[in-house]
Amino acid sequence: MRRWVTAAAGAVALTGALLAASPPASAAGLTQVTGFGTNPGNLSMFTYAPAALPSGAPLVVALHGCTQSANDYYAHSGWPEFADAYGFALVFPQTSSANNANSCFNWFEPGDSGRGQGEALSIKQMVDRAVSLYGGDTRRVYITGLSAGGAMTANLLAAYPDVFAGGSIASGLPARCATTVSTAYTCMYSPPDKSPAQWGDLVRAAAPAGTVSWPRVAIWQGTADTTVQPANATELRDQWTNVWGIGRTPSRTQSLGGSTTLSVYDDGLGRPAVEVYSVAGMAHGLAVDPGSGAEQCGSTGAYYLDTICSSYHTARFFGLDGDEDTGTLPAPTALTVTGTTDTSVSLGWEAVDGATSYTVLRGGAAVGSTSSTSYTDTGLSTGTTYRYTVAAVDRTGAAGSASPAVEATTTGFTPTCHTADNYRHTVAGRAYQSSGYTYAEGSGQAMGLWNTFTVHTLKQTAPGHYVVDDAGCSA
């Protein structure tokens, strides 16, 4: 794409071309599908499916970049090769200059990238239509995209975590990084250095309330990319590891072909949740590796760069090769909190046929295993809220899907001590002032003049209740 953003009045053209233009999708193999919904985003839908595709097959949505078309991505990316080899259907959404002067997906427009709106809703409607056409498995719908398509992929993963089981972001941006043309440029060239929690909050805010299950995410980035700075891959990693509740230290790293380093971040069950593929020396584009080898794919072109077959590794990450590292058992149902104490939480759930044991996860990390349908988690802090899920484990040791989460709050309260001047106590909400004097919140104890010179130690003995304890507060 030559530009990522609308050529609106006053918008400055980006330096350098991004992706070359292509004719409308019309090559043999692609089929245009009309009437797939209300199509509020004014997109076109193209599909590819192998002959005799079985019912219940997976589905992959592939998003092109600016000035590209569905046919361009179909012809160069290598995805059709793996659709034939592994047996899944493909959807190629296509935008146009009617939506964006450079035929970019409007990833930076909230009205096009948010749940139930514009282009995002059109793509969701394409998924529904494709599942109906091919009898697909709604639990195995994935999305991938390049450049502006990668940025839109990140937003769709955030907006529709209940639709997409996984996604792959190639030379893209963190979800919800930009909401205007000007911030789009900032994200591309100098991405904001937000904390992992801030990035994660953007995803959680875009998703349906109460979402507890998140898509697995692969991130592809060239180290010599001057259009989408490589720092974006770091911010993407921070965002999605935070969403998953896992650390930023890789579970393992691996050297691949094409000068590529793979960093894997496992979930609490030891399965890859986030993968980062860093391609040394690669500029802006999608990694392909033309050839007839089992791990090769695609064809070179403008911004299709001969390094490594990203589609092959992404397909394996999605489990499309049939070698999924998730168990086949369903998620346990009726997970409930059966009791709490100051330091423990007791849980119970319905049995799963075929399960030999169950793994209990707290905050996404495994904390225990049991062969029964109940578990008590101990050694917890008082007055603290914890989130739990449970996964059934089969006789091979493979864990199935995790249950919907429940939250439990331990009883009691852990006292805390706070030493500060009266002014700072009031600013922090531990005290209040009236007529120039300060009083402890909750107890109302007098603390003297409201200023920065009078210092006291307050002990919090209950939520919102403080007492003066200058004699040696202990908690």
Q: Mark whether 346 is an active-site residue.
A: no
Q: CATH number of 31-318: 1.10.10.10, 3.40.50.1820, 1.10.3720.10, 2.40.30.10?
A: 3.40.50.1820
Amino acid at 207: A
HSE on the CB side for 44, CA within 13 Å? 19
Region(s) of the chain under CATH 3.40.50.1820 = 31-318
Closest to 223 (Cα-Cα) out of 186, 276, 275: 276
| Intra-chain end-to-end CA distance of the chain, in Å | 59
Q: How confident is the model at residue 41 (pLDDT cuts 50, 70, 90)?
A: very high
Q: How confident is the model at residue 419 (pLDDT cuts 50, 70, 90)?
A: very high
For the segment 310-340, what is each residue's pLDDT rounded down to a tens digit?
A: 999 999 999 998 765 555 788 899 999 999 9
Instruction: Say if residues 259 and 305 touch (Cβ distance below 8 Å).
Output: no
For the segment 78-117, what is each residue's pLDDT rounded down to a tens digit?
A: 999 999 999 999 999 999 989 988 889 999 999 999 999 9
Q: Of 298-312, 398-412, 449-463, where does mean pLDDT reach its minimum?
A: 398-412
Q: Please tell me the CATH superfamily of domain 336-409, with its number.
A: Immunoglobulins (2.60.40.10)
Q: Is the pLDDT of residue 37 over 50?
A: yes
Q: How confident is the model at residue 398 (pLDDT cuts 50, 70, 90)?
A: confident
Give the burial class of 76: count Cβ atoms within 10 A of its Cβ; 0-12 exposed, 13-18 middle, 19 or more buried.
Answer: buried
Helical pair 148-159 and 118-134, crossing angle rounded to 10 deg = 80
Closest to 407 (Cα-Cα) out of 331, 333, 336, 334: 336
The pLDDT of 168-182, averaged and rounded, is 96
For the segment 214-242, what is each residue's pLDDT rounded down to a tens digit?
A: 999 999 999 999 999 999 999 999 999 99
Residue 357 token pair: 């044991």
Task: For residue 419, give the H/E element and its range.
Answer: strand 416-421
Q: What is the pLDDT of residue 364?
A: 77
Q: Of 7-16, 41-50, 302-311, where does mean pLDDT reach its minimum?
A: 7-16
Region(s) of the chain under CATH 2.60.40.10 = 336-409
Q: What is the pLDDT of residue 380?
A: 93
Instruction: Say if residues 428 and 419 touch (Cβ distance below 8 Å).
Output: no
- In percent, the amount of the chain with pLDDT more than 70 equals 93
Q: What is the pLDDT of residue 232?
A: 97
| Residue 4 or residue 167, greater confidence | 167
Mean residue pLDDT across the chain: 90
Strands 260-266 and 252-256, by their bridges, are: antiparallel
Tokens 């996964």 sit on residue: 391
For the segment 345-386, what is each residue's pLDDT rounded down to a tens digit?
A: 999 999 999 999 999 998 878 899 999 999 999 999 888 889
Task: For residue 118, give the H/E element and its range.
Answer: helix 118-134
Q: What is the pLDDT of residue 335?
A: 95
Q: Is the pLDDT of residue 139 over 70?
A: yes
Catalytic residue among 69, 77, 103, 147: 147
Give the three-state DSSP class for 162: coil
Tokens 């922090």 sit on residue: 428
Q: What is the pLDDT of residue 9?
A: 30
Q: Is the pLDDT of residue 282 over 70?
A: yes
Total-model pTM? 0.75
